[in-house]
Structures are given as C-alpha cells and as structure tokens.
Amino acid sequence: MSRAETAVRTPSPLWTFGLLRSELATTFRRWRTLALLGVLAAVPVLVGVAVRIETGDGSSPAHGGGGDGPAFIAQITNNGLFLVFTALAATLPFFLPMAVGVIAGDAIAGEANTGTLRYLLVAPAGRTRLLLAKYATTMVFCLVATLVVAVSALTVGALLFPLGDLTTISGTRIGFAEGLGRALLIALVVAASLTGLAALGLFVSTLTNSGIAAMATTVGLLITVQILDQIPQLHAIQPYLFSHYWLSFADLMREPVHWDGLVKNLQLQTLYAAVFGSAAWARFTAKDITA
C-alpha cells in the first residue's frame, strides 16, 4: 500500500500522529538524509585525526587560542570532550544548516514534484496539520543531525585523547560529568539555533513545485546571510540575521554562564520561526495544488 493510500484510510483521530510517524520514517529512510548525516558524522573524525597527527602523541596542545568558536581546538589534546565543542562550532556555520536547508526546502516542494502532495491533502488532516508535520519532522532532523555530530565527536575524542575534568573559558575547573552535561546542553542549543532556518526553508518550499529549486534557494539564502553577517558596514542589521548569535553557545562554557547572547539567539530563532512559519501557512493554505 502506498503512503498516499495509507494516509487516506487512516482514521481522523489518529491521523496527526500517523502522519508525523510516516513523515519521520520517510525522511530518515532516504539515502539523501543518510548521506547528509554521514557527512556530518565524518567532520569530527577529520578534525580529531588532523589534531592527533599534528600533535603526534597528543601531549602538545594544538595551535590556537581564544575562548569561542573553533578556538576550542586548542584544548582538544588536553581533553577529548573539547572535540564536541569544536565539531559543533565547525559544522554550525555551514554543514549543519545546509543539511537542514535541504530537508526543509524539499518538505512541500518535493511532494509536489513527485505528485504525492495532492493525494496527501485528500486525507482528513488537511493542510495545516500536514504543514505542522513537515515542520516537526524538520525539527527532529535538526536535533538528530546535531546529536550525530556530538556523539561522533565524543567517540573520536575518547579514542584519540584523554578524558577528565576540564577547564572552562573562564579558567575554572569542572568535573567530567558536568562537562558532559554542558556538552549535551550545547547540542540542544545548537539544534534550537536552526529553528529559524527550518521555518524559512519551509516557507520557500511552499513557493515552488520544484524540490531542487527550493533546496537551492534555501541554501543560497543561508550563504547570503552568512556573507552579510561578515561585512562590517552592515553592523546595524547583523543582530537581526538568523545566524548572528549561532556561536553564542560557547558562553555555556563560561563560569558563570553568560546568558545574554544565548537568550538573544533563542528569541531571534523564535521570531523567525513565527514569521516564516506563519508565512508558510498563509501561502500553503491558499495555494492551488495541482500536483
């Protein structure tokens, strides 16, 4: 039985859960999704191996310094847990959001392109629930993709470098268990940082019937925003760009934690999710579905 036929026959009270489960299964069974997750998992391996080769027996610190972003790499040889922070900092500017852009951009446009969207809308769920299921699926992918990076980095860090108590950016020492807890919290913050982009990609997906065009447009917007965020002359608008506070997760490695950047980041993501989520709903509910 096809997915569309299953959707039509699903009883109305169970439809929302059944639709979400179907979307999750379909998304995570695709070779494209598995390939994206594979690339993300490979990044910590490459970083860890590169640091290990550079430092020989691992007793000498890697070059670098500072307190935020990729500067975590300076501490990897002292504690493999820092590979988690480094890998998330390395993948967040492009690899993670690019993967999310591909999934979000294909959400609606991909169904239209394959001709299954019209059949899905025959079912009792309607357009609003279908859109919510698509967004929820994208958000689950954000979390899974982030955890894939974190788990891969933790595994490689444990294999190649020592683990133990670690020193925060502020210079204080915390236990390994607390450091592991902060690593998990950082992964959750990174996943939440992608909610605005996910909503933007979903909106773009409602504008076209071509999945490739929607994915390319979403990734193109991501690259454009990243470029704008690096131009000093545009400092006035940069705090409103969805990527501006992404690396604020480094503040979770301070003692005490600096919450200003983290709160601004989450507020900005909430704003983008609300604006572009509403725009996606308005566009999709009024769209003439022909495929």
Using one digit for the tens of pLDDT, what is the confidence trace for 222-246? 999 999 999 999 999 999 999 999 9
Dump the DSSP string for 200-258.
HHHHHHTT-S-HHHHHHHHHHHHHHHHHHTT-GGGTTTGGGSTTTTGGGGGGGGSSS--
Mean pLDDT of 120-128: 70
Question: Cis bond leading into 124, ω under 30°?
Answer: no
pTM greater than 0.85 = yes
Give the pLDDT score at 2. Answer: 45
Give the pLDDT score at 25. Answer: 92
- CB count, 10 Å around CB of 149? 25
Please report where in the chains the tokens 């979307």 appear, as a residue: 23
d(CA 32, CA 30): 5
Dump the DSSP string for 147-201.
HHHHHHHHHHHHHHS--S-EE-TTS-EE-HHHHHHHHHHHHHHHHHTTHHHHHHH
Give the pLDDT score at 116. Answer: 75
Q: CB-based burial of residue 232 (10 Å sphere; 0-12 exposed, 13-18 middle, 19+ buried)?
A: exposed
Angle subtended by helix axes 95-114 and 126-160, to nearest 10: 150
Q: What confidence category does residue 19 fall into, taking pLDDT thresholds of 50, 70 and 90?
A: confident
Q: Does residue 213 have a pLDDT over 50?
A: yes
Lowest pLDDT segment from 55-59, 84-88, 255-259: 55-59
Note whether 77 and 61 are within 8 A (CB).
yes
Give the pLDDT score at 57. Answer: 54
Longest dimension (CA), the chain: 63
Domain boundaries, the chain: 12-286
Mean pLDDT of 153-182: 91
Note whether 200 and 214 are within 8 A (CB).
no
What percent of the chain has pLDDT above 90?
Answer: 62
